[in-house]
């Protein structure tokens, strides 16, 4: 009579456990990389949304400037903007490396909106009707602004330049 084998040997069990461990560790690292990729993708998407929102605010406010009432000084860029049948006084400034949009139409209750963080070396210039750039500008009947250029550095996006033309 011969005995039939009904169980696995110790070596067979060890080989199966080693194969299972290898597959489990590879799956774990693949899943972990997928979660990290999703996290980075969400952060990039959020930063891109902030940048687009900032550039949209800038373009809308500048293109809807009323009667060329633009001032550029050490406080920032201040302009009168006609939006939704309301004349708003908007001021863009940089405070603690954050671009701020201040609606100072109602001086007792200004509305401050933080647009973009971590900006460095901001430069705002105004192009006049004689194609000369100015870093200081005040409203005058004799001179007209043709464009406003906003430049700054961002650690994620690098050097950014937004040039907005103004209707005369």
pLDDT at 34 over 90: no
With bands split at pLDDT 50, 70 and 90, how would you rate the model's confidence at 1?
A: low
Closest CA to 152 of 142, 162, 143: 162
pLDDT for the residue 36: 85
For 150, the token pair is 């906003």
Least confident interval from 10-24, 60-74, 91-105:
60-74
pLDDT for the residue 80: 86
Whose tokens are 């070396």? That residue is 121
pLDDT digits (tens, 9 = 90+) for 138-161: 887 788 888 999 999 988 888 999
Q: In the predicted model, what is the mean pLDDT of residues 131-137? A: 90
Residues of the chain with pLDDT > 70, as a percent, come to 96
Using CA atoms, how far apart are residues 53 and 47, in angstroms rounded to an integer?
Answer: 10
In this prediction the pTM is 0.71
pLDDT at 3 over 70: no
- 110 and 101 in contact (C-beta within 8 Å)? no
Q: DSSP label at 54?
A: H
pLDDT digits (tens, 9 = 90+) for 39-61: 888 888 988 898 899 889 888 88
Q: Which residue has the higher pLDDT, 64 or 5?
A: 64
With bands split at pLDDT 50, 70 and 90, how would you rate the model's confidence at 23?
A: very high
For 96, the token pair is 């603690």
The residues facing 142 across adjacent strands are none
């Amino acid at each position: 009579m011969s005995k039939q084998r009904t169980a696995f040997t110790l070596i067979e069990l060890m080989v199966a456990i080693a194969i299972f461990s290898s597959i489990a560790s590879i799956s774990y690292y693949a899943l972990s990389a997928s979660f990290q990729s999703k996290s980075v993708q969400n952060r990039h998407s959020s930063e891109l949304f902030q940048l687009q929102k900032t550039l949209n605010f800038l373009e809308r406010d500048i293109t809807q400037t009323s009667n060329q009432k633009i001032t550029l000084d050490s406080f920032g860029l201040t302009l009168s903007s006609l939006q939704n049948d309301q004349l708003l006084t908007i001021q863009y400034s940089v405070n603690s490396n954050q671009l701020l949009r201040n609606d100072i139409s109602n001086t007792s209750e200004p509305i401050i909106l933080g647009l973009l963080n971590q900006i460095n070396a901001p430069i705002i210039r105004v192009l006049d009707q004689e194609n000369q750039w100015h870093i200081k500008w005040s409203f005058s009947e004799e001179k007209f602004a043709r464009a406003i250029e906003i430049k700054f550095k961002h650690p994620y996006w690098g050097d950014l330049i937004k040039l907005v033309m103004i209707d005369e």
